[in-house]
Structure 1
Amino acid sequence: MSVDVTYFRIERIIRSGAECFLCTLEDEIERKYIDGYLSELVMDAKAREKLVEGGGFCNHHFYRMLATATRPESSDGHGIALISQSIIEKFVQDLQKQRKRGKEAFSQTIECPACAYLANLTEIYDRKIVELLCSRNEEFENLFKNSKGLCIPHFALLLKMIKDTMGKQSQEIIETIIDVEEKNFSQLKSELSEYIRRQSYEFSDKDRKAVEDALLKCVQKIAGRRGIKHDNV
């Protein structure tokens, strides 16, 4: 019997109690890519050359690379410095070319390898989730019903994918997803109301601290994880 690694990874993350299991899944994939790049490719001259040709990393992933590489226990800052040096050298060369072009507009194109990797892998997981929901897999449906649901961007993405897959037959599945979202957002609304109530002067710092995670949870539910690509929705 073959083991469905994709399913077990999805199941594990849902059971972890993530506010949005797709956000947590994407974050895990992204983190493993960054760790892998820093441990295997950051000092590789050919990999660095390819990265520079593509314009480097996007804003989000360059900062994540930097944050990971400059941790006290890491020695990967040297590699990030070499990447930055190569990009700066190329930009100086581009400046000389731009000088010759005169008033022609300067354009910057970035083909971020981290974005490409994340997009390819998350599409596999997104399609697996859609397949499980559309096939009315009882085990997964029960798992989904007991989850904390999705952030708003991933809710929109999942609905679009299901409608594209099932067409007019998608209504019952969509109702299930809406029920899960409504239950979890109602709970979050109650937590936020309590957070707001405890900002009053009669509550102690300890009382406020007990509910302080409500604010972060709300932002995560509304906006999705930091770095999410909303244009994919």
Structure 2
Amino acid sequence: MQSSWDFERLSEACNKAGCILCRLTGETTRRYLETWKDEMFTDFNERAKLRSSRGFCNTHTWQLVQMGASLPLAQAYRDIITDEIEQLEKDGGRRRQRWFHPKNGEELPDSSFYTLFLSSHGLCLQHFHLSCTLKPLAASETWLPLLRQAQLAIMQRLEAQLSELIRKHDYRYKDEKRGAEMTSWQRAAGLVSGEEGSIT
């Protein structure tokens, strides 16, 4: 008779409703995310790997949000956002462009739109990069620099809030007033990995 840990897990899973492999995969993933949240996020090499991969996928990012991984996500995703800011400042976020025609006579946003956009949480990185590849045939070249400038300001604001959240996790600052920075880690999750449940 086998007595390995895997055999025990399989045996236990057989006694529960549903797919055995789905359950085991889910449990293994949850265990990994718990370990990352509690221990691994401080490891330099782990953070470097996550940084180079541009973060967790949407599903696993939002699992971490549900687990309350505020400080780990704030630190890891601030690194990614900082890289994006540096890249945008360096080259304006230039990407290979694709031509498109606005549909049904739609107009591209005018400059007043960007005032509203600046007060929002901006675009997730995937949609921002996609937007930077579009080059409309029927519009002036002003919209893309405005979009880049607005997204840059939004990311800089978020980066500052993440830094403040991280600072306030230090016991010396525990009595300071809390503000918008306390939810910045959730906004960073949306910016880096897309909004919860989005299929991008």
Q: TM-score range by the shorter chain?
A: 0.3 to 0.5
TM-score by length of 1: 0.38
What TM-score do you get using the length of structure 2 for normalisation? 0.44
